[in-house]
Structure formats: structure tokens, C-alpha cells
Amino acid sequence: HRTVALIVAAGSGSRAGGAVPKQYAIVAGKPLIAHAYHAFAAHPAVDEVVVVIADGAEALAEAALGLVRTVVGGATRRESVALGLAAIDADYVLVHDAARPFVPAGVIDRVLAALDGAEAAMPVLAVADTLVRDGAVVPRDGLSRVQTPQGFRVDALRAAHAGWPAGEEATDDAQMVRRLGGSVALVQGDAMLDKVTHPDDFAAAEARVTWETR
Ligand code: CTP
Ligand code: MG
């Protein structure tokens, strides 16, 4: 199998704020995106890493990663994934958010192993907190938080993007495959993969990596 990691990094990081989009901010000594890039590049099962960047971000990406293969993304995450998919040659693709810097090799192993028996695989973590909607408790049995990298047989993800209703949003690729009838395997995620979304999340990410390597 030829496996490509597609890192989506074409967002503007509006909720995180800062002088540059969050994926280029320095976290734990490196640009945020460099952590995930190197995790995939170092994984023996990954043949190529392709990064989807915003139009005009070429210099930022080169400063963060050196000369790597980039593709220009779109206005939404879904469009950025579709544009990346159109540019790769692969049997399996691992779609990953640049905003999740720390990617344990074991999660990549589990996702790829699950693709033997499913069209898609995603890492999930059980929800630990009590959940409420408008103050009323929502039973959390069976509820999980979804992370990336999500793995796909490329044909299945391409078909899901091609068949997706125009104008409808999707923040998650595995959900798109499932909606069109594909099988999605769930594998154990990892708290290291939590996303940097808001300003406080930079410090939380720094704390996670310090804790891990202590
Ligand atoms: N992403 C992308 N193309 C877009 C929007 C998002 O490639 N048009 C990427 C982001 O760069 C990020 C991942 O999708 O790595 C998850 O998105 P999110 O956390 O929402 O990042 P942003 O969209 O950049 O942040 P915000 O929504 O706060 O503006
Ligand atoms: Mg966003």
C-alpha cells in the first residue's frame, strides 16, 4: 500500500488569535505544524507527507518546514481536504489537522491497521465530563470525542467528497464516508492529540509535551 499523510493547515486560526495563524506559532521550541509533520515523516508506514496551506502562506510554510510538498487549500476545511486529495497518488490517506501537534506513532499504527477491515478509521476518546444541553444532562454512554489522524482508503474518501451536497458543511471526513454508507472503524485516540483551538490551548499543548518527555 502507498500511504500519504495529508496535513490540513490552510485555516486562519481566528479563534486562537496571534500574529501568525496558529499552525505557525512556536510551541515547544518549533512551529506548531513542524511537530506533526515530523511525526508522519518519521513513521515507517508513511510514504509521503503533503501539506495543504493557505494561498499566500508559501513563505510561512517554508520557514516552518523547509522545502516540503504543499498544495493550496480552500475556504473551508472540507475544501482544503478535497484539494489535497486531488493532488495525491495513494492507496491510503491519513488526514490530519495541523492544529493537533503531537501525534503518537501508536495512533498511526492503530488507524492504519483498522483500514484492513473498513473504509475509514478514526481515533476517539471517551468523554469524561458530565455533558449538558441547555443545562439538562445528556447521557454520555457511547459518546466520544473524535480526533485526527483519520485514515481512509483513498477511493472511499474521494467518493465521499464527490457525493457531498454542495453548501453543506462537514468538519470531519470520517463522518462524510459514513453518511454515504461507508464503514468507519473506531480506534483508541490519545489526549496528546488534543487540538489547539483557543489562546489557552497553546499553554496546554506545551504542558502536554513537557509531561510526556519528563
Ligand atoms: N483548515 C484548512 N482549511 C480551512 C480551514 C481549516 O486546512 N479552510 C485546517 C486548519 O488549518 C486546522 C484544521 O483544518 O489545522 C482544523 O481546523 P480549525 O481548528 O478550525 O482551524 P482554523 O480554521 O484555522 O481555526 P478557526 O476556526 O479558529 O479560524
Ligand atoms: Mg476552523
Buried b (16+ CB within 10 A) or exposed e, 1-21: eebbbbbbbbbebeebeeeeb
pLDDT band at 213 (very low <50, low <70, confident <90, very high): low
* Domain interval for residue 63: 3-213
Whether 214 shows a pLDDT value over 60: the answer reads: no
CA 9 / ligand 1 centre spacing (Å) = 7
Q: Percentage of residues in the chain with pLDDT exceeding 90? A: 90
**CATH number, residue 66:** 3.90.550.10
Q: What is the pLDDT of residues 33-75, one digit of tens each?
A: 999 999 999 999 999 999 999 999 999 999 999 999 999 999 9
The ligand 1 atom at the shortest distance from the C-alpha of residue 97 is 15
Ligand 1 atom 23 nearest Cα: 11
Nearest of 199, 4, 190 to residue 104 by alpha carbon: 190
CA 214 / ligand 1 centre spacing (Å) = 30
The ligand 1 atom at the shortest distance from the C-alpha of residue 74 is 8
pTM attached to this predicted model: 0.97
Residue written as grid cell 516540503: 68
**Complex ipTM above 0.95?**
yes
pLDDT band at 153 (very low <50, low <70, confident <90, very high): very high
Separation of alpha carbons 114 and 110, rounded Å: 6
**Can you read off the three cell numbers belonging to residue 209?**
509535551
Nearest of 166, 144, 164, 167 to residue 156 by alpha carbon: 164
Among 77, 148, 201, which residue has the most ligand 1 atoms within 8 Å of its CB, making it the best to mutate? 77
pLDDT band at 3 (very low <50, low <70, confident <90, very high): very high
Q: What total of structural domains would you count in the chain?
A: 1
- pLDDT at res. 168: 87
- pLDDT at res. 159: 96
